[in-house]
């Protein structure tokens, strides 16, 4: 997951179709994440619907064309409905994901379902939105996370993968606490990535944990920073 897969570095863009080339690279990155989750123990937090009070919860995720907003209904310890309230993905292409992903979640009683072929970004946007809606009920991530308290004081560097290429960070640990995170380099689009570059390091320091919520609208950049910090601390441990 931390190996670069960037347009212009690992892959050549196709003249006149740079955005499409980036989309393909991003899609491959998403698939690599699914492989990691399935076979390498890198899964996200689990959600036990039996522990969730009856009610309707809202969340947002990032699809291909922008934010995807959902409403999630839980009743009697079961997920009973997932409604797509808003999305900005292309009609026709995204339709199958908008219909099938909520169905899969209800059928399997799980948030982490397989994406729909041909609509990977739309699928991921829905899955992320539902996860965010139920975030407060999520259990600890499988495999655990880096524990700053077990890292010796010092400064460590790590690399994660953003949308446009590798993101390198420098993490300072002192007294068992993460005290500073500097983003040394990245290749993501200015403006789009700025919120994640600013906010994700702040969240990690505030919460003193690596697995924090991504910034809506900058999912790839957020994940890249999170992976880079985890990589830095894993190397330290």
- Per-residue pLDDT reduced to its tens digit, 56-78: 998 888 787 888 889 999 998 89
- Per-residue pLDDT reduced to its tens digit, 94-152: 899 999 999 999 998 888 788 887 777 788 778 877 877 776 666 544 444 566 777 88
Residues 134 and 172 in one domain: no
Domain ranges, residue 61:
45-141
Closest by alpha carbon to 72, among 90, 89, 87, 60? 60
DSSP 1: -
Q: Which residues pair with 172 in a beta bridge?
A: 155, 180
- Secondary structure (DSSP) of 152-163: PSEEEEEEEE-S
pLDDT at 196: 92
Alpha helices in 40-94 (DSSP H): none
Q: Which residue in the block uniquely carries the two structure tokens 């064309």?
A: 65
Phi, psi of 42 (to 5 degrees): -105, 30
Total structural domains in the chain? 2
CATH number for position 157: 3.90.1010.20
Residues 49 and 114 in one domain: yes
pTM of the predicted model over 0.85: no
CA–CA distance, 208 with 127 (Å, rounded to integer): 25
Boundary residue ending a domain (87, 108, 141) = 141
Cβ(84)–Cβ(99) under 8 Å? no
Q: Which residue in the block uniquely carries the two structure tokens 């003193």?
A: 208
Boundary residue ending a domain (111, 141, 171) = 141
Residues 171 and 198 in one domain: yes
Cβ(13)–Cβ(7) under 8 Å? yes
Residues 199 and 161 in one domain: yes
The answer to the question of residue 15 being in a domain is no
The answer to the question of residue 14 being in a domain is no
The answer to the question of residue 39 being in a domain is no
Give the residue, 15 or 227, on which the prediction is more confident: 227
Confidence of residue 236 (pLDDT cuts 50, 70, 90): low
């Amino acid at each position: 997951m931390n190996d670069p897969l960037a347009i212009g570095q690992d892959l050549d863009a196709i003249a006149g179709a740079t955005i499409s080339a980036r989309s393909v690279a991003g899609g491959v990155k998403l698939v690599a994440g699914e492989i990691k989750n399935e076979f390498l123990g890198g899964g996200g937090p689990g959600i036990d619907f039996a522990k969730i009070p009856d009610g309707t919860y809202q969340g947002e995720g990032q699809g291909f064309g922008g934010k995807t907003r959902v409403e999630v209904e839980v009743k009697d310890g079961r997920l009973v409905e997932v409604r797509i309230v808003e999305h900005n993905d292309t009609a026709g292409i995204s339709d199958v994901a908008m219909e099938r992903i909520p169905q899969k979640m209800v059928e399997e009683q799980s948030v982490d379902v397989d994406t729909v072929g041909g609509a990977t970004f739309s699928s991921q946007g829905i899955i992320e939105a539902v996860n965010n809606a139920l975030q407060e009920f999520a259990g600890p991530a499988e495999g655990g996370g880096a524990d700053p308290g077990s890292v010796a004081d010092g400064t460590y560097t790590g690399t994660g993968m953003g949308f446009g290429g590798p993101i390198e960070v420098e993490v300072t640990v002192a007294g068992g606490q993460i005290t500073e995170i500097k983003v040394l380099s990245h290749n993501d689009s200015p403006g789009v990535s700025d919120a994640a570059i600013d906010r994700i390091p702040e969240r990690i320091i505030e919460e003193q944990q690596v697995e924090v919520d991504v910034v809506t609208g900058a999912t790839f950049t957020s994940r890249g920073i999170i992976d880079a910090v985890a990589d830095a601390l894993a190397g330290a441990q």
